[in-house]
Amino acid sequence: MDGVKASLVFVGMLVVGLLVSVTSGLSPPTIVSNEEEFVLQPNSVFNISCTGKRNVVWTEPLPKNTFVYPGYYTATLFIYNATVENTGYYMCTYQTQEGDLEDEPEEDNEAGIYVFVPDALAPFVPETPENLVVPMETDGVPISCRVSDPNSHVTLRSVPSGEDMSAFYDHKMGFFGSLSPGQYQCETSVNGHSIRSVIYTVETEVPAEMDNFDVEVKASEETVRAGQSFNITCVAPIGLDFQQQWLHPKKQAMGAVQIKDTSLDGVIYTLSIPKATSQDSGSYECSVTHIISGEVRVSSVAVTVFEENSFVAVDHSGIQTSEFVSLLEETEYTILINAYPNPKVSWLKDGKAMPQTYYIFTKTSHLEGNRYQSILTLRQPLVKDNGNYTITAISGSRTAHFSFTLKVKAPTAMMFPTILGPCAAATGGGDGGAPPHSFHLDLSGRG
Ligand SMILES: *[C@@H]1O[C@H](CO)[C@@H](O)[C@H](O)[C@H]1NC(C)=O
Ligand SMILES: *[C@@H]1O[C@H](CO)[C@@H](O)[C@H](O)[C@H]1NC(C)=O
Ligand SMILES: *[C@@H]1O[C@H](CO)[C@@H](O)[C@H](O)[C@H]1NC(C)=O
Ligand SMILES: *[C@@H]1O[C@H](CO)[C@@H](O)[C@H](O)[C@H]1NC(C)=O
What ligand has the least distance to the C-alpha of 42?
2
Cβ-proximal residues to 79 (8 Å cutoff; 6+ apart), any chain: 40, 45, 46, 47, 63, 65, 66, 86, 115
Q: Please say if the pLDDT value at position 421 is more than 60.
A: no
Mean pLDDT of the chain: 83
CB distance 409 to 383 below 8 Å: no
Q: Report the 10 Å Cβ neighbour count for 286.
A: 25
The DSSP string of 183-208 is EEEEEEEETTEEEEEEEEEEEPPPPG
Rounded Cα–Cα distance for residues 297 and 216 (Å): 9
CB distance 91 to 111 below 8 Å: yes
**N-term to C-term CA, the chain:** 73
The DSSP string of 247-259 is E--TTTTTT-EEE
Indicate whether residue 416 lines ligand 2 (CB < 6 A): no
Give 207's pLDDT tier (boundaries 50, 70, 90): low
Q: What is the pLDDT of residues 31-45, one digit of tens each?
A: 999 889 999 999 999
What ligand has the least distance to the C-alpha of 275?
3
Measured from the Cα of 67, ligand 2's closest atom is 13
Q: Which of 55-59, 125-129, 322-326, 426-430 has the lowest mean pLDDT?
A: 426-430
pLDDT attached to residue 208:
53
CB distance 25 to 102 below 8 Å: no
Indicate whether residue 81 lines ligand 2 (CB < 6 A): yes
DSSP 120: T
Measured from the Cα of 81, ligand 2's closest atom is 1
What are the Cα distances from residue 135, in Å, to 25, 170, 182, 208, 367? 38, 20, 11, 12, 62
Indicate whether residue 357 lines ligand 2 (CB < 6 A): no
**Of all protein residues, whose CA lies closest to atom 5 belonging to ligand 4?**
351
Tell me the chain's radius of gyration from C-alpha atoms: 40
Lay out the sheet containing 174-177: strands in order across: 141-143, 174-177, 168-170
> CA neighbours within 13 Å on the CB side: how many for 9?
23
- For the chain, domains (ranges, CATH) are 3-116 (2.60.40.10), 129-203 (2.60.40.10), 214-306 (2.60.40.10), 311-409 (2.60.40.10)
Q: Which of 61-75, 87-101, 199-213, 255-269 has the lowest mean pLDDT?
A: 199-213
CB distance 120 to 191 below 8 Å: yes
Rounded Cα–Cα distance for residues 157 and 142 (Å): 14
Q: How far is the CA of 385 from the centre of ligand 2 (A)?
A: 92
Residues lining ligand 3, Cβ inside 6 A: 220, 229-231, 259, 270, 272
Q: Report the 10 Å Cβ neighbour count for 166.
A: 11
pLDDT attached to residue 429:
37
In single-letter form, the type of residue at position 269 comes to Y
Rounded Cα–Cα distance for residues 12 and 105 (Å): 14
pTM of the entire predicted model: 0.45
Rounded Cα–Cα distance for residues 158 and 183 (Å): 6
**Of all protein residues, whose CA lies closest to atom 10 belonging to ligand 4?**
388
**Of all protein residues, whose CA lies closest to atom 2 belonging to ligand 2?**
81
pLDDT attached to residue 25:
61
Q: Please say if the pLDDT value at position 82 is more than 90.
A: yes
Q: Report the 10 Å Cβ neighbour count for 413.
A: 8
Indicate whether residue 392 lines ligand 4 (CB < 6 A): no
Share above pLDDT 70 across residues of the chain, in percent, rounded to a whole number? 82
Rounded Cα–Cα distance for residues 62 and 55 (Å): 18
**Of all protein residues, whose CA lies closest to atom 1 belonging to ligand 2?**
81
Measured from the Cα of 231, ligand 3's closest atom is 1
Q: What is the pLDDT of residues 332-342, one digit of tens each?
A: 999 999 898 88
**Of all protein residues, whose CA lies closest to atom 1 belonging to ligand 4?**
388
Give 67's pLDDT tier (boundaries 50, 70, 90): very high
C-alpha dihedral (185, 190, 192, 195), degrees to nearest 10 = -20
Q: Which of 202-216, 321-335, 365-379, 424-438 has the lowest mean pLDDT?
A: 424-438
What ligand has the least distance to the C-alpha of 228?
3
pLDDT attached to residue 431:
39
- Phi–psi pair at 13, nearest 5 degrees: -65, -40
